Amino acid sequence: MKILITGGAGFIGSAVIRHIIQNTTDRVVNVDKLTYAGNLESLAEVENHKRYTFEKVDICDRAELDRVFSEHKPDAVMHLAAESHVDRSIDGPTAFIETNIVGTYTLLEAARSYWNSLDSKCKALFRFHHISTDEVYGDLQGSDDLFTETTSYTPSSPYSASKASSDHLVRAWLRTYGLPTIVTNCSNNYGPYHFPEKLIPLMILNALEGKSLPVYGDGMQIRDWLFVEDHARALHKVVTKGVVGETYNIGGHNEKTNIEVVKTICLLLEEMVPDKPLGVVQYLDLITYVKDRPGHDVRYAIDASKIDRELSWKPQETFESGIQKTVEWYLNNREWWTRVLDGSYSRERLGKN
Q: Where are the domains of the chain?
A: 2-193+226-252+298-317
- The pLDDT confidence band at residue 297, using thresholds 50, 70 and 90, is confident
Report the range of poorest mean pLDDT among 30-39, 173-182, 340-349: 340-349
What's the confidence (pLDDT) of residue 347?
Answer: 59
Compute the distance between CA of residue 199 and CA of residue 195 in angstroms, rounded to an integer.
9
The pLDDT value recorded for residue 352 is 45
Structure confidence at residue 343 (pLDDT): 86
Tell me if residue 135 is catalytic: yes
Which one is catalytic: 105, 114, 137, 159? 159
What is the residue-averaged pLDDT of the chain? Answer: 95
By the 8 A CB rule, do 217 and 253 touch?
no
- The values of phi and psi at residue 215, to 5°, are -120, 125
Sheet holding 255-257, edge to edge: 188-190, 222-227, 255-257
- Is the per-residue pLDDT at 353 higher than 60? no
Length of the chain: 353
Q: Which residue has the higher pLDDT, 86 or 177?
A: 177
Confidence of residue 85 (pLDDT cuts 50, 70, 90): confident
The rounded percent of the chain whose pLDDT value lies above 70 is 97
83 catalytic? Reply is no
Give tens-digit pLDDT for 119-139: 999 999 999 999 999 999 998
Q: Please count the CA atoms within 13 angstroms of the CA of 194 that sit on its side-chain side.
A: 27
Q: Identify residue 40 by its one-letter amino acid code.
A: L
Q: Name which residue leads in pLDDT, 293 or 334.
A: 334
Average pLDDT over residues 215-221: 95
Question: 2-193+226-252+298-317: which CATH topology?
Answer: Rossmann fold (3.40.50)
Catalytic residue among 32, 55, 134, 229: 134
Q: In the predicted model, is pLDDT for residue 348 greater than 70? A: no
| Catalytic-residue membership of 159 | yes
pLDDT band (50, 70, 90) for residue 221:
very high
